Structures are given as C-alpha cells and as structure tokens.
Amino acid sequence: MALKYFVLTIALLAVVTSISHASDPSPLQDFCVAVNDSVAAVFVNGKFCKDPKDVTADDFFKSGLNEPGNTSNRVGSAVSAVNVNNLPGLNTLGISLARIDYAPYGLNPPHTHPRATEFLVVLEGTLYVGFVLSNPGPNMKNKLFTKILHAGDVFVFPIGLIHFQFNVGKTKAVALAGLSSQNPGVITIANAVFGSDPPIKDDVLAKAFQVDKKVVDYLRSQF
C-alpha cells in the first residue's frame, strides 16, 4: 500500500509540474528556499530566499503524509497540506500537494483556490466530486460538472472555480491533490460568507440569498 501511494504521488507531482506555469512565475535560479529572515538578500514571491550556502536536504523534505488526518469534525474531512509554509524548498517552484481524508459521508465543502488548478487522485473509497462554472452569459446558468470517482480515478478542478468532494461510500476515503502553486490559497465559501471578520452586514446577505435576516443570523452562528 505504501509503495502504491508513493508511485501515485510521484505521478501526480509530474503532472502538476507540467501545468504549473499557468499560475506561479518560472524560477530564475535552481531554488529559492524560503526563510523567515528579514535580513536575507533576496525577496521572491512573498518569501525571503535562504543563503544557498546554508541550504540542506532537509529544506526539501517533509514526512508524515502517510498519517491520516483527524476527520472527527462537523464536515467529516481533513486536509493535510504540503506547501511553501511547511516545505520551504517549494518556494518559486510553482507546485504544492495535499492529502485529504474523508470519514464515511464526509465532505470537503465547496471552496476555491484563487491561485491554482487542482489535480485530484483518489487512493481509497468513492467520492462524488464537482465544480461550478463562473458567471455565465445571458440566459445561462452556472453549469455544474460532477463525477463519481473510485480508487485510481483522477479529476481536475480549474483554477479559481468553486469545487467540492463528498464521500458517498460507507467506508473512509483518501485522496491526494496536486496544485499548480506553491501557495494556492483556499476560500471555503460558507466560512467566508458567514464567518468573515468583521461580519458582512445582515442586510447584504439577506438580500443576496433572498432569505429572512433570522436565517442569516442562524447560519452565521454555525461559523
């Protein structure tokens, strides 16, 4: 099982690398290991570059992705991200990775990655996945594309579009997601709309969703 995960991870990273130019800019050097040091000489894409003389193999290494995430939460899913914030060697390389664990009937809620296309590989279980097109033209609706995925299946979520994954099986599910950015970002729709800080005014949300303000207050209380 461990070997299967390793092979799928390598294949996933290879594909994501080929599409990474659609998001982050190409690097101008072999590497730019991120370091939180304001006296570092170079500042690239939000991170300072570590002095190449001080770079070690550990800057390109992270363990633990074989460990399942804790899915005992309201939505029943856990995302274990590997990005520039916990793997400094990814800085300027234009890729990142995430392991996603789903409890039975667990959901990775509708969300977007503002800076990355996502490439999903199912390792275990059965997922119902989908994404919604952006604002359509006249007399059109936001079209939904969905698919049932099984172990070994892959699916692509285009950059910036709202998407989700739902475990429709009675057993746990596991997937790997490759993203075409070192720091793709994530906006979970419900959290952002009803849990923003400071909160969006009730009048705005009530009119946007065409519901009573009491409904807005109830939804806000969940976040």
Q: Are residues 94 and 147 in the same domain?
A: yes
For residues 49 and 108, membership in a common domain is answered with yes
- Check whether 130 has a pLDDT greater than 90: yes
Which range is least confidently modeled, 2-11, 16-25, 163-172?
A: 16-25
Q: Domain total for the chain? A: 2
Q: 29-33, 45-49, 60-64, 139-143: which has the minimum mean pLDDT?
A: 45-49
Does residue 172 surpass a pLDDT of 80? yes
Domain that holds residue 215: 186-223
**Residue found by looking up tokens 């170079």 in the block:** 42
Which range among 17-21, 43-47, 147-151, 192-196 shows the weakest confidence by mean pLDDT? 17-21
Whether the pLDDT of residue 88 is over 90: the answer is yes
- Residues 173, 193, single domain; the answer is no
CATH number at residue 99: 2.60.120.10
Same domain, 127 and 160: yes
What pLDDT, in 10s, does the model give residues 192-222?
999 999 999 999 999 999 999 999 999 999 8
Report whether pLDDT(41) > 60. Answer: no
Query: In this structure, are 52 and 138 located in the same domain?
Result: yes
More confident residue, 46 or 173: 173
Residue 138 — very low, low, confident or very high, per pLDDT cuts 50/70/90? confident
Instruction: Compute the mean pLDDT over every residue in the chain, rounded to the nearest whole number.
Output: 87
pLDDT at 10: 55
What is the percent of the chain with per-residue pLDDT over 90, rounded to a whole number?
A: 68
**Same structural domain, 214 and 146:** no
Nearest alpha-carbon partner for 127 in 158, 173, 84: 173
pLDDT computed for residue 50 by the predictor: 87
Instruction: Assess whether 207 and 169 both reside in one domain.
Output: no
pLDDT of residue 92: 87
> For residue 80, which phi and psi values (nearest 5 degrees)?
-105, 100
Residues 153 and 221 in one domain: no
pLDDT of residue 136: 74
Question: Is residue 190 left, alpha or beta, with left meaning phi > 0 and alpha meaning psi from -120 to 50?
Answer: alpha
Tell whether 171 and 195 lie within a shared domain: no
More confident residue, 140 or 212: 212
Give the residue, 62 or 12, on which the prediction is more confident. Answer: 62
User: In the predicted model, what is the mean pLDDT of residues 78-103?
Assistant: 94
What values do phi and psi take at 155, rounded to 5?
Answer: -150, 145
195 and 106 fall within a common domain: no
In this structure, the answer to whether residues 41 and 111 fall within a common structural domain is yes
Are 21 and 105 members of one domain?
yes
Distance CA 11, CA 210 (A): 45
